[in-house]
């Protein structure tokens, strides 16, 4: 019963973390980052401002949603630590969840103070990247809670076969590069380079990646996004050929490939539609889920730099 409630709470917290990421994207896209002026965490120097513009509502809503989900993450972390106090993976995922939600909140405060400076672009990019790590960590903690057997329940777990170090490094390397691609995409958005190539796709006025120009920033992201697509395709082929006995990894790699293809299509539509808000939100959703899926694959295969994973994956067998 305790674990069931914890799982439900984890799902709710994960949804809250997604809403936090999405609302941050809305604030950035609409330029509402200064809707509350330079006050933080309150708005316009007041807890409840007398007058609120649309930008103020968007920015303050984002702060409130982030605060609420941060509180939920704290509860989930402490709760899971208390119930599974001997489980190292639960402790790690809980720590990452709370650490990065605090860190991205601190960066959010800095973006308010550095409005109008070049540093703002980098702070905003880091803010988005850290929010993705927090989102992925909460999702992984929730998934792991579903993998664990009932507290005190006598169910014999099954152990999934281990994978080779080559696949481990491939999965971790692909996830790490995906995170880098996230930053190139965030820099496109925060440097106003979404339409650096106009509405041309895949063509552009330049084919040289150069962060000093908007077309160059756009092309840098396109090259990086294309490469991550090829890497995930290679990963899927490798897994299907060599590791069919690991359905969790096969499904994860397949889902990652579907998501990266959809992500590419959303990126194309973002350009060809002139950066429409709905399309950009779909783009943000897909990259958040893709990074979470790749993080899940990392969790499933374990640490590549250890002779054996810190703990083997145990899944309670189905009763149905």
Segment 6-63, tens digit of pLDDT: 999 999 999 999 998 888 888 877 877 677 777 777 787 778 877 788 888 888 888 8
59, 153, 280, 311: the catalytic one is 59
Q: What is the pLDDT at residue 71?
A: 94
Could you read off the pLDDT of 94-111 as tens digits, one per residue?
A: 999 999 988 887 877 776
The alpha carbon of residue 215 and the mean position of all alpha carbons in its chain are separated, in whole angstroms, by 26
Q: What is the pLDDT at residue 121?
A: 60
The single residue listed with the structure tokens 């060809």 is: 272
Helices (H), 31-164: 54-83, 88-113, 119-147
Helix (H) or strand (E) holding 40: none
What does pLDDT average to over the chain?
83
Active site residue 59: yes
Please tell me the distance from the alpha carbon of residue 82 to that of residue 104, in angstroms, as a whole number.
25
Beta-carbon contacts of 293 under 8 Å, excluding residues fewer than 6 positions away, are: 252, 255, 256, 259
Asked if the model's pLDDT at residue 313 lies above 50, the reply is no
Beta-carbon contacts of 20 under 8 Å, excluding residues fewer than 6 positions away, are: 62, 65, 66, 69, 131, 135
The predicted model scores a pTM of 0.84
Measured between its terminal Cα atoms, the distance across the chain in Å is 19
Q: What is the pLDDT at residue 112?
A: 66
Contact 40, 105 (CB under 8 A): no
Could you read off the pLDDT of 231-286 as tens digits, one per residue?
A: 999 999 999 999 998 999 999 999 999 999 999 999 899 888 887 888 888 998 99
Average pLDDT over residues 188-215: 83
Please tell me the distance from the alpha carbon of residue 312 to that of residue 88, in angstroms, as a whole number.
12
Please tell me the distance from the alpha carbon of residue 162 to that of residue 313, in angstroms, as a whole number.
9
Q: What is the pLDDT at residue 312?
A: 45
Residue 35 in tokens: 């809707």
Please tell me the distance from the alpha carbon of residue 212 to that of residue 172, in angstroms, as a whole number.
30
Q: Which of 251, 246, 7, 293 is nearest to 149 (CA)?
A: 7
């Amino acid at each position: 019963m305790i674990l069931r409630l914890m799982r439900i709470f984890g799902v709710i917290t994960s949804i809250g973390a997604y809403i936090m990421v999405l609302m941050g994207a809305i604030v950035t896209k609409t330029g509402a980052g200064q809707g509350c002026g330079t006050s933080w965490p309150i708005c316009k120097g007041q807890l409840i401002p007398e007058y609120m513009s649309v930008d103020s509502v968007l920015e303050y809503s984002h702060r409130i949603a982030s605060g609420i989900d941060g509180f939920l993450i704290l509860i989930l972390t402490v709760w899971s630590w208390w119930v599974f106090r001997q489980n190292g993976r639960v402790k790690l995922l809980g720590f990452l969840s709370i650490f990065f939600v605090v860190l991205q909140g601190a960066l959010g405060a800095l973006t308010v103070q550095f409005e109008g400076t070049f540093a703002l672009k980098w702070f905003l990019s880091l803010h988005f990247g850290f929010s993705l790590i927090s989102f992925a960590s909460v999702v992984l903690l929730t998934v792991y809670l579903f993998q664990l057997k009932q507290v005190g329940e006598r169910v014999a777990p099954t152990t999934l076969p281990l994978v080779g170090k080559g696949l481990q490094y491939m999965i971790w390397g692909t996830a790490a590069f995906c995170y880098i691609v996230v930053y190139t995409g965030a820099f496109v958005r925060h440097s106003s380079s979404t339409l650096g190539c106009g509405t041309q796709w895949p063509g552009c006025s330049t084919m040289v990646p150069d962060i000093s120009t908007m077309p160059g920033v756009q092309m840098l992201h396109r090259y990086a996004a294309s490469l991550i697509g090829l890497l995930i395709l290679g990963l899927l082929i490798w897994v299907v050929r060599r590791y069919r006995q690991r359905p969790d990894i096969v499904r994860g790699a397949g889902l990652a490939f579907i998501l990266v293809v959809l992500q590419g299509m959303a990126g194309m539509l973002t350009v060809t539609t002139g950066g429409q808000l709905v399309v950009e939100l779909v783009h943000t959703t897909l990259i958040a889920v893709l990074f979470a899926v790749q993080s899940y694959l990392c969790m499933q295969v374990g640490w590549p730099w250890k002779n054996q994973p810190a703990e083997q994956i145990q899944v309670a067998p189905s009763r149905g």
